[in-house]
Amino acid sequence: MKNKTIVSLKNYHTFHLEISAESVLPIKSIVELTSYFINKENQRKWIVLGEGSNVIFSNHFEGDVLIMKIIGIEVLEDSTSYQTLRVNAGTNWHEFVKYCVEKNLGGVENLALIPGTVGASPIQNIGAYGVEVKDVIKQVNAIKLNDLTQVHYSNSDCNFDYRDSIFKNELKNKVIITSVDFMLTKKSFYSLNLSYKPVIDFLTKSDIKEPKIKDVFDAVLSIRSSKLPNPDEIGNSGSFFKNPIIAKSKFDVLRQNYAYIPYYELPNEEIKIPAGWLIEKAGWKGYRKNDVGVYPKQALVLVNYGNAIPEEVINLVNKIKISVNKMFSISLQTEVNII
C-alpha cells in the first residue's frame, strides 16, 4: 500500500464532487486491512469506501480513505433448493446480481443496478421493488477494530430495519465488513417478488405471462435506466432521501388534502410514502442552480452536472427538507451519508 499526499476524491465517489483527502489506500486483502490498523497513527482519521455511492464529503477529509478492493465469490453450500455464497466486500453489487441471475439463483434480481459494493449493502439494508437485502443475507463477516479479530454476525444479529442496521449504529467505526454470506434460492423452488406495480406493468407490456428470474431482472434494468441517471455521465448518489414512514392516522389526515398521494401499507398501522412524490409536489423536480440540481426524471435524485461544490449540495438538501416539512409536516431523512 503506497501513501499519497493530498488526493482528489472526485473519482472515488459517484457524486463526483471535487474534494480531497490526505491519502487514498486500496485494500486488496484482509492482511492489508489489519496491517493498516496495526501501523496507523492512533489519532489519524480514516473512512472505508467501496464505490462511494452513498456518501457526500462536505469538506477536505483530513485522513486516509481506504478503498475496499477485496473481491470474489465463493460457493459455501450447494443444496437441492438453496446455494449459499460468500461474496467479498469489494465486489460490485450489480455484478453480483448478474452472477446470481446467470446461475438461476433467485433473491436479488429486484435489486439490480443499485450502485455500490457488496460490503455496503448490509450497512444500508439496500432495497428496491419490494425486496430488501436482509431477505437473503445469512451472515455478515467483519474485522473487529479493537482487537483486529474476525467476527461473524447472523441475520438476527444485524438488527436490520428500513435502510438501517447495527452497522450504522452500535457498530459504526467499530467493525469493517469484509464479506457477506447470501442464501439464494434455486429457480425450481423460488417464488418471484412481483409486489411492485411498475414491474408487473413491464412484464404485462412485454407479454410475459410466466416470468422467470431473468425477466424480473430485465424489467428492473429497464425501469431504473429510464428514470435514474448513470453516475458515469451525471454525478449522483441514487436515492438521496429515505421514503418516510408515518402513522396511518397522520396519513388519513394528509389524504384529505392530497387524495391521489401514492402510498404503501406496512404492518403496525404504518404507511410508507414515496419521498420523490413529496419533493416533486414541493416544486423541486428539475430544479437547477449552477451545477447542482434535482434530476428532471426522478425528484428523489440530486445530481452534479459537472462542477457542483459540497456547500451547494448541502444547501439544496436543507432547502428541500424545509419545504417538504412546511408543506406536509413530514421530516425527510437522507439516505446518503454526509461526512
> Catalytic residue positions?
163, 239, 335
Closest CA to 235 of 79, 86, 4, 18: 18
For residue 221, give the H/E element and its range: helix 213-227
Residues linked to residue 145 through DSSP beta bridges, in sequence order: none
Distinct helix (H) and strand (E) counts, the chain: 8, 21
Cβ-contact 162, 128 below 8 angstroms: no
Return the C-alpha cell found at 323: 419545504
Alpha carbon distance 200, 198 (integer Å): 5
- Cα 98 to Cα 102, 198, 200, 216, 337: the distances in Å are 6, 21, 21, 12, 27
Alpha carbon distance 155, 152 (integer Å): 10
Return the C-alpha cell found at 32: 492489508
Return the C-alpha cell found at 108: 436479488
Return the C-alpha cell found at 339: 461526512
Q: Which amino acid is at 201?
A: D
Cβ-contact 186, 105 below 8 angstroms: yes
Closest CA to 294 of 274, 276, 273: 276
Closest CA to 160 of 116, 122, 108: 122
For residue 140, give the H/E element and its range: strand 137-144
Return the C-alpha cell found at 100: 446470481
Cβ-contact 320, 285 below 8 angstroms: no
Place of cell 434480481: 109
